[in-house]
Amino acid sequence: MSFVKLTASTLAIAAVSATAAAARDQVQVAGSSTVLPYASIVAEAFGENFDFPTPVVESGGSSAGLKRFCEGVGENTIDIANASRAIKESEIKACAEAGVTDIIEVRIGYDGIVFASDINGNAFEFTPSDWFLALADQVVVDGALAANPNKTWDQVNANFPAQPIQAFIPGTKHGTREVFEEKVILVGCEETGALEAFKAANGGDEKAAEKSCLGLRTDGVSVDIDGDYTETLARIESNKDGIGVFGLAFFENNTDKLQVATMSGVIPSTESIATGEYPVSRPLFFYVKKAHIGVIPGLKEFAEFFVSDEVAGPDGPLAEYGLVSDPELAKTQEAVAAEATMGGNS
Amino acid sequence: MTDHNQTPAEGDAPKRKHGASLLQLTDRTKRRNAAETRFKAYGIAAIGVGLLMLVVLVTTIVGKGLGAFQQTFVTLEVALLEDKLDKNGNRDIEDIKKVTTFGYAPIIRAAMETKVETLGIESALKGKDMADILSKDAAATLREYVIANPDQIGQTVEFAFLAQSRVDGYLKGRVTRESIANDKNISAEQLDFVDQLIEAGTVKKTFNLAFILGADASDARPEAAGMGVSMLGSLFMMLVVLALALPIGVAASIYLEEFAPQNWLTDIIEVNISNLAAVPSIVFGILGLAVFINYMHLPTSAPLVGGLVLTLMTLPTIIISTRASLKAVPPSIRDAALGVGASKMQSVFHHVLPLAAPGILTGTIIGLAQALGETAPLLLIGMVGFIASNAPDSIASGLLSPNSAMPAQIYEWAKRADPAFYERAWGGIIILLIFLVTMNTLAVILRRRFERRW
């Protein structure tokens, strides 16, 4: 039987090469889907300009990426985790338990989060309070906490049109969700006085009050999107009343379908985010496993290339794609060059 | 046939209940006939709906995806200036490599400006805005060329560069002046400029082989993305599936069908094989992640692992179809072989298996086609992302270095922000469908040609 021979030889090749594969020669990156486009742009340019193979960039979300990052040290674990939020204490602990102790934190720049709706629909000028009143589970009605009665935007704010409230917000596995909660819902909670009310209701416990603020309504008005922004866009295309949460770069690639709402009177743009005028933005990071530097060829070069002026600077390809470049990029470059780990002991 | 002897002569109707005749339509017969006509109509309607769906599907896919096979190119004569590309002038490849793609941007801009001057085009645009109608891939193309042909430095060489995705969309009718009102990637003035270049014959839309053969590209240059490397990924996965699933599946089926005693143990095995065929593919993905990657430490994103996972998925299909075709071989063949003194094994391998081979092949091809279109398990073993960017250079690296697969690549493109990727996702579907249709046709042809009926 000739296929028996074929099988035997294929298996033999596979077995031989499996042992040879012990030396991985390309950098492996995983994590935030927000950072993915930037990381892939850098990876592509890196592969073009250096004699190393193009790094592999997978997505999956910040938390998923950091979880894989913290699985341990070795060639079958990833070298870099992308994250659209800073690493958490609990994750650092989990990393340490698995032997990943020296982590280099690299901030690549800032990303704006925008609120956009169908291009032919109504224009909106939001404030955080509007979003809190629209989406919170409990709001202050006539001085007392009550279940959110608002059904249309004009009930939230008299200046808005009578359009049904329908929001598509990122699901909890996304880093974007945290920024949305922290910079919009929580701020709105405070502004509308609901935070005080929550505090009064549970005996002055600030943490519990903040948690109550973040309780979003579950009656279908606010929909969690666990997929990517393309899914949010598809939802808005099928439901013209919908308002979605997007990354600035995604919006800028789809200006023919979406119009953006202002937040506290500021139009989101790379400029207004860089100056800090536009309030809803967040830093983007990647985390490098120091133990892999020198083991995985090109890892340090990739990290340095990522934050170099020609890539991450204000005129670089990342800024062109929508990243707000970090004014303190020089500091980051120094830290990467010195392989400064978190906690400062390097 | 049995009616033959009672075929009625005129007026000689056989006696039936209610005095009914086959030739005389009673109410009951009419109702039964009507029911049959209705059922036929339902059947035709069902087929009609099915066909309509197919037509809608195919027209949508072809309508949306065909554009990906064409791409807009801009022809420029680029002066490869020595003082920019090889400052020392000694053509040392290491020196030339030091000039990054960023260093090539001014050369391309200069080429654009020269082109505009020679064509006599008047435009208020600045040099940078003119050069922006080109893909960011242009610099990479140029650098690759210079490194491959360092002797060309100092010469002027003609290049056909990709145009950026908005310009390409403009030529394909996807982008209009209204739709780019808020777009910062391109302006109406740039589109006017493109119009002038089209008139001059510098900007052209032609067939794009790079879409079929090329590698994936990053979000900044959708126009450069291609399916080629992910096709190789799929190919290597299918090789693994073929090399493992076929022998294992056939051996298992022969044993179960020809040698195994009929007892409760083989019954359990049979039931479980049938059950396995119905297990959702994502389950195999999780299994693959846990066993092959976390436990056996095989590399992530490798087609080898993808192939192993898909093998698990395809095995039940192959076993079931192999057993069916072994069963279809009449026992008389076995008996005859045993009767002339062949051993059990000789009777199976010399007589039964060759006769069952067409059925086995058909089942295998259909199993492979199913595996080829599978995405879900690949999500879990890291084959989705910006991965299909390095073309493998050997069989070992084809199996072990990270790669994507066709359906995973399509899924990845559909997720990306730039609308140009959306078109490529549909184009990718066309390529994938061509593969699937070819495989299924092959299966049908094999069956038609070699299958024997008894």
Inter-residue contact A313 to A319 (CB < 8 Å): yes
Chain pair A-B, CB pairs under 8 angstroms: 149
Residue numbers in B near A39 (CB within 8 A): 386
Contact status of A275 with chain B (Cβ, < 8 Å) = no
Q: Helix, strand or coil for residue A187?
A: helix
- The contacts of residue B380 (CB under 8 Å, 6+ apart) are B282, B285, B286, B288, B289
The CA distances from residue B356 to A143, A316, A329, B323, B365, in Å, are 81, 63, 68, 9, 15
Q: Which residue of B has its CA nearest to A74?
A: B297
- Residue A19: the pLDDT is 47
Distance CA B266, CA B418 (A): 54
Instruction: Classify residue B25 as exposed, middle or buried by CB count within 10 Å of its CB (0-12, 13-18, 19+).
Output: exposed
The CA distances from residue A191 to A183, A184, A276, A278, B354, in Å, are 12, 10, 20, 17, 80
Contact flag B386-A43 (C-beta cutoff 8 Å):
yes
Q: pLDDT (tens digit, 9 = 90+) per residue, A158-210?
A: 889 999 999 999 888 777 888 899 889 999 998 888 888 888 888 778 888 88
User: Which residue segments constitute the domains of chain B, with CATH numbers given?
Assistant: 69-207 (no CATH), 228-450 (1.10.3720.10)
- Residue A2: the pLDDT is 56
Judged against a pLDDT cut of 70, whether residue A21 lies above it is answered with no
Residue numbers in A near B293 (CB within 8 A): 76
Residue type for position B298: L
Contact flag A59-B384 (C-beta cutoff 8 Å):
yes
Residue with tokens 């990479």: B140
Contact status of B101 with chain A (Cβ, < 8 Å) = yes
Contact flag B293-A20 (C-beta cutoff 8 Å):
no
Contact status of A23 with chain B (Cβ, < 8 Å) = no
CA B392, B394, B397, B399 dihedral sign is positive
Structure tokens at A48: 């073009």
Residue numbers in B near A116 (CB within 8 A): none
* Largest interatomic CA distance in chain A: 84
Contact flag A17-B400 (C-beta cutoff 8 Å):
yes
The larger pLDDT score, comparing residue B73 to residue A76, is at: B73
Residue with tokens 């009310």: A197
Nearest-Cα distance to chain B for A100, in Å, is: 17
Nearest of A75, A227, A36 to residue B302 by alpha carbon: A75
Distance CA B416, CA B429 (A): 16
Q: How many CB atoms lie within 10 A of CB A33?
A: 26
Nearest of A123, A117, A110, A55 to residue A305 by alpha carbon: A55
Beta bridge partners of A223: A168
What is the end-to-end Cα distance of chain B in Å, rounded?
24
Contact status of B244 with chain A (Cβ, < 8 Å) = yes
Residue numbers in B near A21 (CB within 8 A): 299, 302, 396, 400
**Share above pLDDT 90 across residues of chain A, in percent, rounded to a whole number:** 45
Task: Tell me which H or E stretch contains A230.
Answer: helix A229-238
Q: Which residue of A has its CA nearest to B388?
A: A56
Q: Which residue of A has its CA nearest to B222?
A: A41
Nearest-Cα distance to chain A for B28, in Å, is: 51
Judged against a pLDDT cut of 70, whether residue A33 lies above it is answered with yes
Beta bridge partners of A80: A29, A288
Residue type for position B372: L
Q: What is the DSSP letter of A275?
A: T
Inter-residue contact A292 to A69 (CB < 8 Å): no
User: At what angle are helices A206-213 and A194-201 packed, to 10 degrees?
Assistant: 130
Between residues 29 and 48 of chain A, which touch chain B (CB distance below 8 Å)? Answer: 30, 33, 36-37, 39-41, 43-45, 47-48
Between residues 47 and 76 of chain B, which touch chain A (CB distance below 8 Å)? Answer: none
Contact status of A301 with chain B (Cβ, < 8 Å) = no
The CA-based angle B230-A32-A77, given to 5 degrees, is 70
Between residues 222 and 241 of chain A, which touch chain B (CB distance below 8 Å)? Answer: 227-230
- Residue A15: the pLDDT is 52
Q: pLDDT (tens digit, 9 = 90+) per residue, A79-132?
A: 999 998 889 999 999 999 999 999 999 999 998 899 999 999 899 999 999 999
Residue with tokens 């046939």: B1
Distance CA B49, CA B45 (A): 6
Nearest of A290, A320, A317, A319 to residue A303 by alpha carbon: A290
Distance CA B2, CA B14 (A): 13
Contact status of A114 with chain B (Cβ, < 8 Å) = no
Contact status of B149 with chain A (Cβ, < 8 Å) = no
Residue numbers in A near B247 (CB within 8 A): 3-4, 7
Q: β-strand A80-83 against A138-141: which pairing, if any? A: unpaired
Contact flag A228-B415 (C-beta cutoff 8 Å):
yes
Divide the 454 residues of chain B into consecutive groups of 10 and give the mean pLDDT of each group.
48 53 79 94 97 96 92 92 82 85 89 90 85 91 90 89 92 88 86 91 91 92 93 95 95 93 91 90 90 87 93 93 93 94 94 92 92 91 87 87 93 89 94 94 88 74
Average pLDDT on A327-338 reads 91
Q: Helix, strand or coil for residue A346?
A: coil
Between residues 361 and 390 of chain B, which touch chain A (CB distance below 8 Å)? Answer: 382, 384-387, 389-390
Beta bridge partners of A31: A82
Q: State the pTM of this model.
A: 0.85
**Share above pLDDT 70 across residues of chain A, in percent, rounded to a whole number:** 92
Q: How many CB atoms lie within 10 A of CB A76?
A: 17
What 3 state SS string does chain B have?
Answer: CHHHHHCCCCCCCCCCHHHCCCCCCCHHHHHHHHHHHHHHHHHHHHHHHHHHHHHHHHHHHHHHHHHHHEEEEEEEEEECCHHHHCCCCCCCHHHHHHCCHHHHHHHHHHHHHHHHHHHCCCCCCCHHHHHCCECCHHHHHHHHHHHHCHHHCCCEEEEEEEECHHHHHHHCCCCCCCCCCCCCCCCHHHHHHHHHHHHHCCEEEEECHHHHHCCCCCCCCHHHCCCHHHHHHHHHHHHHHHHHHHHHHHHHHHHHHHHCCCCHHHHHHHHHHHHHHCCCHHHHHHHHHHHHHHHCCCCCCCHHHHHHHHHHHHHHHHHHHHHHHHHCCCHHHHHHHHHCCCCHHHHHHHHHHHHHHHHHHHHHHHHHHHHHCCCHHHHHCCCCEECCCCCCCCHHHHHHCCCCCHHHHHHHHHHCCCHHHHHHHHHHHHHHHHHHHHHHHHHHHHHHHHCCCC
Inter-residue contact A27 to A50 (CB < 8 Å): no
Q: What is the DSSP letter of A78?
A: -
Average pLDDT on A34-57 reads 92
The CA distances from residue B394 to B193, B242, B397, B399, B405, in Å, are 45, 19, 5, 9, 17
Query: B356-371 burial, b if ≥16 CB within 10 A, otherwise e?
Result: bbbbbbbbbbbbbbbb
Judged against a pLDDT cut of 90, whether residue A25 lies above it is answered with no
Contact flag B385-A58 (C-beta cutoff 8 Å):
yes
Residue numbers in A near B179 (CB within 8 A): 255-256
- The contacts of residue B363 (CB under 8 Å, 6+ apart) are B317, B318, B320, B321, B322, B324, B325
Judged against a pLDDT cut of 60, whether residue A312 lies above it is answered with yes
Residue from B301, B386, B418 whose CB has the most chain A CBs within 10 Å, to mutate: B386
Between residues 418 and 437 of chain B, which touch chain A (CB distance below 8 Å)? Answer: 418-419
Altogether, the residues listed in chain A come to a count of 346
Contact status of A154 with chain B (Cβ, < 8 Å) = no
Contact status of A3 with chain B (Cβ, < 8 Å) = yes
Q: How many CA atoms lie within 13 A of B399 on its CB side?
A: 23
Contact status of A293 with chain B (Cβ, < 8 Å) = no
User: At what angle are helices B137-148 and A36-49 packed, to 10 degrees?
Assistant: 20
Altogether, the residues listed in chain B come to a count of 454
Q: Helix, strand or coil for residue A146?
A: strand
The CA distances from residue A133 to A147, A151, A193, A214, B256, in Å, are 11, 10, 11, 12, 66
Q: Which of A6, A7, A256 sits opposite B179 (nearest CB)?
A: A256
Q: How many CB atoms lie within 10 A of CB B297?
A: 15
- Residue A346: the pLDDT is 40
Q: Which residue of B has its CA nearest to A21?
A: B400
Residue from A44, A269, A310 whose CB has the most chain B CBs within 10 Å, to mutate: A44
Contact flag A26-B402 (C-beta cutoff 8 Å):
yes
Task: State the pLDDT confidence band at A345, using cuts at 50, 70 and 90.
Answer: very low
- Residue A6: the pLDDT is 57
